[in-house]
Amino acid sequence: MSNVTKQQAPLYVFVYDISNDKERSKVDGVLRDYGFRVQKSVYECHLTRGDKKRLLDKLESLTIETGHIRCYGVNSKVIKIGAPPEDLDEEYIYFIE
């Protein structure tokens, strides 16, 4: 078993495009437990191998019928451009190169 901390774990970006509000809320609720929202339908998640498997299993079990979810591994340094506003809200967008 690895002793990898969350910040040392590989970074994954989850994006979703789901038209049904109920399905979208379920996906958002699952992703919120594993990562940080960077845009309305985009999450960054540092995931250990076990966390990644659990998250993917949970998302798969939702049986999304009105859209899709994608997971991208980020294998390079993430560059953030701009500073978050002092009154950071959930609608703030980070740009990733």
What residues pair up with 39 in beta bridges, in sequence order?
Answer: 42
User: What pLDDT score does 4 carry?
Assistant: 57
pLDDT of 22 > 90? The answer is yes
User: What is the 8-class DSSP label of residue 9?
Assistant: S
pLDDT at residue 75, as a whole number: 81
Q: How confident is the model at residue 76 (pLDDT cuts 50, 70, 90)?
A: confident
Q: What percent of the chain has pLDDT over 70?
A: 71
The domain at 11-74 falls in which architecture? Answer: 2-Layer Sandwich (3.30)
Residues 17 and 45 sit within 8 Å (Cβ to Cβ):
no
**Smallest Cα–Cα separation from 18: which of 62, 65, 63, 72?**
65
What is the pTM (predicted TM-score) of this model? 0.74
pLDDT tens column, 25-65: 999 999 999 999 998 999 999 999 999 999 999 999 998 99
CB atoms within 10 A of CB 81: 8
Domain residue ranges of the chain, discontinuous segments joined by +: 11-74
